Amino acid sequence: MAARRLKFWGWGYDDERLSQAEERMAMRRYAERFGVDDFTRLPNPTAEDIELAAPAVSPPANLARICSTDAHDRLVHTYGRSFPDYVRIFDRDFANAPDIVAFAGTEDDVIAVLDWAAGANVAVIPFGGGTSVVGGVEAAVGDRYAGVVSLDLTGLDGVVEVDDISRTARIRGGMRVPALEAALKPSGLTLRHFPQSFELATVGGMIATRSGGHFATLYTHIDDFVESIRTVTPTGVMESRRLPGSGAGPSPDRLMLGSEGALGIITEAWLRLQDRPTYRAGGALMFDDIHKGAEAVRVISQAGLYPSNVRLLDAAEAEMNGFGAGREAVMVLAFESADHPVDPWMARAAEIAVELGGRPEGADAGSSDGHTEGAAGAWRQAFMRMPYFRELLTPIGVINDTFETAITWDRFRDFHDNVKAATAAAIEEATGAPGIVTCRFTHSYPDGPAPYFTFHCLGRRGGMLEQWRHIKRKASDAVIGNGGTITHHHAVGRDHMPWYTRQRPDAFGATLKAAKDVLDPAGILNPGVIVPLPGA
């Protein structure tokens, strides 16, 4: 349905890949790192390689117009973009492909699909950007359903209304971030919320998964930009009022934020926008190690300065992202405004960092252009290309994954050291050789950071899924055992459910189950996500 066809086996669109130079550089780096002479590489799968089971259900006549059982459509909608997804993609394993893909173009389409599915006992997996890294869009729903439909929402496209007085817009749930930004540009407004998946991510998907975006402080989650939400549930439409703030009972929007398609389909939302920034200041500071840098991030986060960026990379991660020699941690600092020069803000934040041992990187630290130069600029570029590397690393046999969390400052040092050690140990147990575990902060709060861990190790062909599962289990146990959250912005999906149910209060889980029973009495919406499957 999109003008550009999506890759079913990799990131983004068919016409966009890593360059040969990027591939060569990455292969050389990993070969050095793991002492490998040369990697053998599995070929990219083609649709012809894959045998799909015949659809178990057929769409009714009234939905035939929007439904597809075309192989490419079913392949694109089988997986998200997690490491285990890639392993199975390169194994040509599409056993969980949905029976049908329904392309909703209107809210009535969504209602019609839910009506049919509830009556026919068909599970509905909402599909926006399809970028889940936690098994959020996979039809792994067991055998209690007659079939599965993947409900593609990207046809619910467009900005319906812009209110440039309140700086908000009413946006359809399936609209992708780049199209949204293009549509807003003439008004001078921007959502300015860029998860790493922003190329593909949809407004409804970001709300359903509580995505984390551009701003490292203050407006960290999409939550903070939500003014109201319109949701289609199997029992009716639910729409909250447009309000800048309210104290009338528990917030209806907060029930849908993080509902991950299990309670309803977000068809529209009013989101708060920003003026496009015109003033900037930024730079990078080097620290002896992550703990020295963390102390500076803490003090800056508690100073009421609200930098747009105050990301911290440990020494290995800094090096991996193309700067430094692996001996120093780096803090990337930036301020931006559409209203006023931000130099006093930047000057004070840099002063705090220097007081706490930070060394400005190069001559540009603290300058008004610093944000696109040096370490800061390198980071920005690397961040945008990162999702593409999994389509190289997986077929050459490198297990590569990330997990992210949040923890209060008082516990950060032990948390970091324990989680890193547990992950490193699990890698050795699973693969028999050491791997690499690195950490950065993606967001920061007055009471704690959101640490983001990346690990790489050499996998065993044919055993990578099992190896990954061991590492993921041990790392998640460490995150939960040391007091963190199983996710700060990657969502719960199916992969995090065992730890999510340990994390959230049981009584709260019971209220979510009760809410689902009210809104989705047939239990057809994204089964097994947020609310455990019956008997699970």
Size of the site for its own copies (CB under 8 A): 94
| Bridge partner list, 274 | 190
Give, for 151, the enclosing helix (H) or strand (E): strand 147-152
User: Is the separation of the CB atoms in 398 and 323 below 8 Å?
Assistant: no
CA distances, 261 to each of 136, 419, 490 (Å): 9, 30, 14
| Minimum CB distance to its own copies, residue 315 (Å) | 23
| Minimum CB distance to its own copies, residue 439 (Å) | 16
Residue 244 touches its own copies, criterion: CB under 8 A:
yes
Stretch that binds its own copies, among 26-34, 45-53, 325-333, 490-498 (CB under 8 A): 490-498
Q: Which of residues 160-219 bind its own copies (CB under 8 A)?
A: 163, 165-168, 209-212, 218
Taking CB under 8 A as the criterion, the residue among 119, 142, 236, 322 binding its own copies is 236
Would strands 147-152 and 122-127 be described as parallel, antiparallel, or unpaired? Answer: parallel
- Work out the angle at residue 106's Cα, subtended by the Cα atoms of residues 177 and 110, and round it to the nearest 5 degrees: 100
User: Is the separation of the CB atoms in 191 and 180 below 8 Å?
Assistant: yes
Taking CB under 8 A as the criterion, the residue among 71, 382, 503, 532 binding its own copies is 503
Taking CB under 8 A as the criterion, the residue among 44, 235, 368, 372 binding its own copies is 235
| Minimum CB distance to its own copies, residue 473 (Å) | 17
Cα separation of 49 and 317, whole Å?
37
Transcribe 232-251 into DSSP letters: EETTEEEE----S---SSS-
The sign one gets for the Cα dihedral 223, 228, 232, 235 is positive
**Identity of the residue, 84 or 212, whose beta carbon is nearer to its own copies in the bound complex:** 212
Strand, coil or helix: what is 367? coil
Taking CB under 8 A as the criterion, the residue among 98, 398, 500, 524 binding its own copies is 500
**Identity of the residue, 16 or 161, whose beta carbon is nearer to its own copies in the bound complex:** 161
**Identity of the residue, 221 or 390, whose beta carbon is nearer to its own copies in the bound complex:** 221
Q: Which of residues 266-305 bind its own copies (CB under 8 A)?
A: 272, 275, 298, 302-305
Q: Which of residues 364-423 bind its own copies (CB under 8 A)?
A: 406-410
**Identity of the residue, 226 or 436, whose beta carbon is nearer to its own copies in the bound complex:** 226
Q: Which of residues 54-73 bind its own copies (CB under 8 A)?
A: none
Stretch that binds its own copies, among 170-178, 309-317, 368-376, 491-499 (CB under 8 A): 491-499
Residue 517 touches its own copies, criterion: CB under 8 A:
yes
Strand, coil or helix: what is 386? helix
User: Is the separation of the CB atoms in 260 and 491 below 8 Å?
Assistant: yes
Residue 246 touches its own copies, criterion: CB under 8 A:
yes
The neighbour count for residue 110, using CB atoms within 10 Å, is 27
Q: Which of 34, 441, 44, 403 is nearest to 216 (CA)?
A: 441
Q: Which of residues 445-474 bind its own copies (CB under 8 A)?
A: 445-450
Give, for 337, the enclosing helix (H) or strand (E): strand 329-337
Residue 487 touches its own copies, criterion: CB under 8 A:
yes
Q: Which amino acid is at 210?
A: R
**Identity of the residue, 62 or 166, whose beta carbon is nearer to its own copies in the bound complex:** 166
**Identity of the residue, 283 or 451, whose beta carbon is nearer to its own copies in the bound complex:** 451
